[in-house]
Structure 1
Amino acid sequence: MELTPVEGLPEIREGDDLAALVDERVDLRPGDVLCVASTVVSKAEGRTRDLSAFPAGDRARDIAARIEAITGDEKDPRFAQAVIEESEELLTEAPFLLAVCRFGHVTVNAGIDRSNVPGGDLLLLPEDPSASAARLHERLDVPVVVTDTSGRPFRHGQRGVAVGWAGMPASRDWRGEHDRDGRELGVTVQSVVDELAGAANLVAGEGDGGTPAVVVRGFAFGDHEGSDNLFRAEEDDIVREALRDWTFEG
């Protein structure tokens, strides 16, 4: 499998034809997968906002004051308001905002970015990243994975994850198949879109040298059942349920 950054993409602005810009710079082939950063998808879709668009309510001011008291860092209550408005639910309000996005992804600050945002203070995630991926897939005729970087419980650092996808299943199901000793696999479901996003992130880079699109060539899904169940359903997410009953004390 080979992963190649799409070089030479310009700074993306609202209304830019992202599919055309990618197509001009790479010869996509059948079987390729395009991984594209949510940041450029959001910019093309006009998801840049100023903090002034989020006048803080009482809840946002309380959250900002509490986080500032815990961390010692000044917090703008308008940012807390933006997170509230971009979220279906806040699972934690301190010492950080852990949000359930409206499309199912759970992440800190609802995935709102404050770096590399020309023309605004904030960059929101796409409203529906899988719909965004579907539009790119229709134009480019290859599977598309929309990626973001996200932290992980129990580990330091961030890694690439899928927030939207189209043209391929989110996961491949190994249940019912057998290991090398002949034992039947009962729980193994492999999140291939997350693994492709993580691999793409290795070659895309970060910071001012980052490349927002990567072509994956040579990936084979294999003869497996596929599923689009990437985000856990609320009723069987025991971690989400536990966080609802948890309060930070410190």
Structure 2
Amino acid sequence: MELFAVPDLPEIRAGDDLAAMIAERVDLRPDDVVCVASTVVSKAEGRTADLEEFPAGPRAKEIARNLEEISGDEKDPRFAQAVLENSTDVVMEEPFILTEAPFGHVSVNAGIDRSNVPDHDLLLLPERPSQSAERIHENLPESPPVIVTDTSGRSFRHGQRAVAIGWAGMPASRDWRGETDRDGHELQVTVQSVVDELAGAANLVSGEGDGGNPVVVVRDWDFGDHDGSDNMFREMRRDFVRQALRDWEYEP
């Protein structure tokens, strides 16, 4: 397959039509997959905010105070308040805030970004990334699948990588269960999260920092003849790591 960045996209502002801006710069095919960084989706949807919009309550002040003691760095309780208000569950409060977004994604600080926001303090994740992906998918010429990506850390490993937080026009995963390996053994558990894998591949092209390209097209990739599924986020009763974290206490 081939991956290439959509060139010459300007700074995205609230109200911008991402689909039209992409279509002006690349001729798309119906079997392409368009990976769009959540940062530009959020900017187009006006998901910027300032710290003064989040006056800190008692819980946010306590969280900020505890994090300040752990790190030795000053923590703004208004940021902690922003995290709380953009989360449906707080998995951990220290040594960092790990939260669940309303659409199911678990990430540090509710995925709130403090970089690449020229006119505001904060950039929030899209409220409903799969609906955002659906709007772009429907308005692009040829209606190729769309994946909204975000960069996050990884349990048990150093470093960050991109994952899918929303998608449209394709299933999230392809199911290999019931198929056989090269030795004829039936696969029992293999469900491949293709939207995450494509998001990670696109991030290698889009890059990070001030040279990033927020939209990448994946071409000549084929889903294949497999069953698909949109199950992405583990339900609580099957998320054993998250269950364990509920009873875990941080020890410096």
- TM superposition score normalised by structure 2: 0.98
- What is the RMSD computed on CA atoms of the aligned residues? 0.6
Q: How many Å apart are 1:122 and its aligned residue?
A: 0.2
Q: What one-letter code is carried by the residue in structure 2 that aligns with 1:133? A: A
Once the two structures are superposed, residues 130-179 of structure 1 have per-residue CA deviations (whole angstroms, 9 ceiling, x without a partner) of 00000001011110000000100111110010000000000000000011
- What does residue 4 of structure 1 align with? 4
Distance in 2 separating the partners of 1:247 and 1:62: 16
- What does residue 26 of structure 1 align with? 26
- What does residue 130 of structure 1 align with? 130
Residue 244 (1) aligns with residue 246 (2):
yes
Distance in 2 separating the partners of 1:186 and 1:173: 10
Q: What one-letter code is carried by the residue in structure 1 that aligns with 2:193? A: S
Once the two structures are superposed, residues 99-128 of structure 1 have per-residue CA deviations (whole angstroms, 9 ceiling, x without a partner) of 011100000011000000011000000000
Q: How many Å apart are 1:89 and its aligned residue?
A: 0.5
Q: How many Å apart are 1:246 and its aligned residue?
A: 1.0
Once the two structures are superposed, residues 58-107 of structure 1 have per-residue CA deviations (whole angstroms, 9 ceiling, x without a partner) of 00000001011001111100000000000011100000000011100000
Distance in 2 separating the partners of 1:228 and 1:53: 35
Distance in 1 separating the partners of 2:34 and 2:176: 24
Say which of 128, 144, 147 aligns to 1:145: 147
Percent identity among equivalent residues?
Answer: 73
Q: What one-letter code is carried by the residue in structure 1 that aligns with 2:57? A: G
Q: How many Å apart are 1:240 and its aligned residue?
A: 1.2
- What does residue 117 of structure 1 align with? 117
- What does residue 108 of structure 2 align with? 108
- What does residue 17 of structure 1 align with? 17
Q: 2:29 is paired with a residue of what secondary structure?
A: coil
Q: How many Å apart are 1:235 and its aligned residue?
A: 1.9
Distance in 2 separating the partners of 1:185 and 1:207: 40
Say which of 215, 233, 236 aligns to 2:235: 233
Once the two structures are superposed, residues 175-221 of structure 1 have per-residue CA deviations (whole angstroms, 9 ceiling, x without a partner) of 00011111110000000000000000000010000000000001100
Q: 1:82 is paired with a residue of what secondary structure?
A: helix
- What does residue 40 of structure 1 align with? 40
Distance in 2 separating the partners of 1:156 and 1:73: 22
Q: How many Å apart are 1:249 and its aligned residue?
A: 1.8
Distance in 2 separating the partners of 1:123 and 1:227: 30
Structure 2: stretches of 5+ with no match in the other structure: none
Distance in 2 separating the partners of 1:2 and 1:203: 10
Which aligned pairs between 1:154-233 and structure 2 lie closer than 5 A? 154-233=156-235
Q: What one-letter code is carried by the residue in structure 2 that aligns with 1:25? A: R
Distance in 1 separating the partners of 2:111 and 2:26: 28
Runs ≥4 in structure 1, deviation > 4 angstroms? none
Q: How many Å apart are 1:247 and its aligned residue?
A: 1.3
Q: What one-letter code is carried by the residue in structure 2 that aligns with 1:218? A: D
- What does residue 51 of structure 1 align with? 51
Distance in 2 separating the partners of 1:151 and 1:85: 21
Q: 2:244 is paired with a residue of what secondary structure?
A: helix
Distance in 2 separating the partners of 1:178 and 1:42: 42
Q: What one-letter code is carried by the residue in structure 1 that aligns with 2:93? A: E
Residue correspondences, number: 250
Q: What one-letter code is carried by the residue in structure 1 that aligns with 2:235? A: A
